[in-house]
């Protein structure tokens, strides 16, 4: 039976370290500050923003919230971002996704200064990441790396298979794994013989967005299974991309949903905010 990787425990460990780091920075006159923009009344977005504020409170990072109405235009949002880019007291800027349909998401994400792009979505920061010279590391993939590091799971030389090629998880996850000297395969909806490939994985990362997509027969005995998915099943219960109950019987380590990767995403956002403050 797999050992369950407890993301909440690892989150708390990292946040406590960051709290000490922020206190030391404050003594030097450096005050990390995260500005979070939320547009509209998406209930899930509100939960995420509240969780980010709570993480700021735990670490001593200053939190600013900018709540804009649903009918906000692209130009109005860009104007706010320009003001925050120019504000020396703001270390990092995050625009909570999804945005209302009338807003040009790409324009918004590219308007945030690369030096304040703590989500690591700006093309410049993704480019830097691809050549191993990133200012920031993408929050969810870096959270996965921290889970593995905490558990003492060796990545170098291992075969890592990632299911999913999104810009937020799949692609940057592959880059971080490569940087850690893993041999990486990225699978997606057009991949043929998927199960044959996933059964070769020492570390299997599922980021496909389909409830219980990864079945036990897709997993090699003793593999490390990381579930990045956050879905609702037919009973409206929160679940991941992995059939947890069955896969846990074969894996050596596995992350649960909720309580696995999720807590680490916001934790790594705090790490990027501290990095931004140090570099400002």
Q: Are both 143 and 255 inside the same structural domain?
A: yes
pLDDT score at 14: 98
Q: Are both 150 and 249 inside the same structural domain?
A: yes
Number of independent structural domains in the chain = 2
pLDDT score at 237: 87
Does 120 reside within a domain? Answer: no
**Distance (Å, whole) CA 262 – CA 52:** 12
pLDDT for 91 beyond 90: yes
Q: Are both 159 and 222 inside the same structural domain?
A: yes
> pLDDT, tens digit, for every residue of 170-181?
999 999 999 999
Q: What percent of the chain has pLDDT over 70?
A: 100
Catalytic, 52? Answer yes
pLDDT score at 34: 98
**Distance (Å, whole) CA 126 – CA 152:** 27
Does 20 reside within a domain? Answer: no
> pLDDT, tens digit, for every residue of 93-133?
999 999 999 999 999 999 999 999 999 999 999 999 999 99
Does 189 reside within a domain? Answer: yes
Catalytic, 200? Answer no
pLDDT score at 148: 98
> pLDDT, tens digit, for every residue of 183-211?
999 999 999 999 999 999 999 999 999 99
Q: Are both 143 and 253 inside the same structural domain?
A: yes
**Distance (Å, whole) CA 198 – CA 204:** 7
pLDDT for 235 beyond 90: no
Q: Are both 108 and 160 inside the same structural domain?
A: no
> pLDDT, tens digit, for every residue of 19-30?
999 999 999 999
Q: Which of 117, 119, 202, 227 is catalytic?
A: 119
Q: What is the mean pLDDT of the chain?
A: 97
pLDDT for 233 beyond 90: no
pLDDT for 232 beyond 90: no
Q: Are both 105 and 152 inside the same structural domain?
A: no
**Distance (Å, whole) CA 115 – CA 277:** 9
pLDDT score at 155: 98
Range of the domain at 90: 29-114
Catalytic, 58? Answer no
């Amino acid at each position: 039976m797999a050992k369950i990787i407890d993301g909440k425990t690892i989150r708390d460990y990292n946040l406590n370290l960051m709290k000490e780091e922020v206190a030391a920075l404050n003594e030097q006159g450096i005050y990390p500050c995260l500005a979070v923009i939320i547009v509209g009344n998406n209930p899930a977005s509100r939960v995420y923003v509240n969780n980010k504020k709570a993480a700021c409170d735990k670490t001593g990072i200053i939190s600013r919230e900018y709540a804009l109405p649903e009918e906000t235009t692209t130009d109005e949002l860009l104007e706010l971002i320009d003001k925050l880019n120019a504000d020396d007291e703001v270390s990092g800027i995050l625009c909570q996704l999804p945005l209302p349909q009338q807003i040009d998401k790409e324009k918004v994400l590219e308007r945030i200064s690369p030096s304040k792009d703590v989500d690591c979505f700006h093309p410049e920061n993704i480019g830097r990441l691809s050549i191993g010279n990133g200012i920031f590391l993408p929050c969810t993939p870096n959270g996965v790396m921290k889970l593995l590091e905490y558990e003492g799971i060796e990545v170098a030389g291992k075969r890592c298979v990632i299911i999913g090629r999104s810009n937020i998880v799949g692609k940057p996850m592959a880059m971080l794994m490569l940087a850690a000297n893993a041999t990486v395969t990225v699978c997606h909806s057009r991949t043929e013989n998927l199960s044959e490939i996933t059964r070769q994985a020492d570390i299997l990362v599922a980021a496909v967005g389909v409830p219980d997509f990864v079945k036990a027969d897709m997993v090699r005995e003793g593999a490390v299974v990381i579930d990045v998915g956050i879905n609702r099943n037919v009973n409206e219960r929160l679940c991941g991309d992995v059939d947890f109950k069955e896969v846990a019987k074969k894996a050596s380590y596995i992350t649960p949903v909720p309580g696995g990767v999720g807590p680490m995403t916001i934790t790594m956002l705090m790490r990027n905010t501290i990095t931004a403050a140090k570099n400002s």
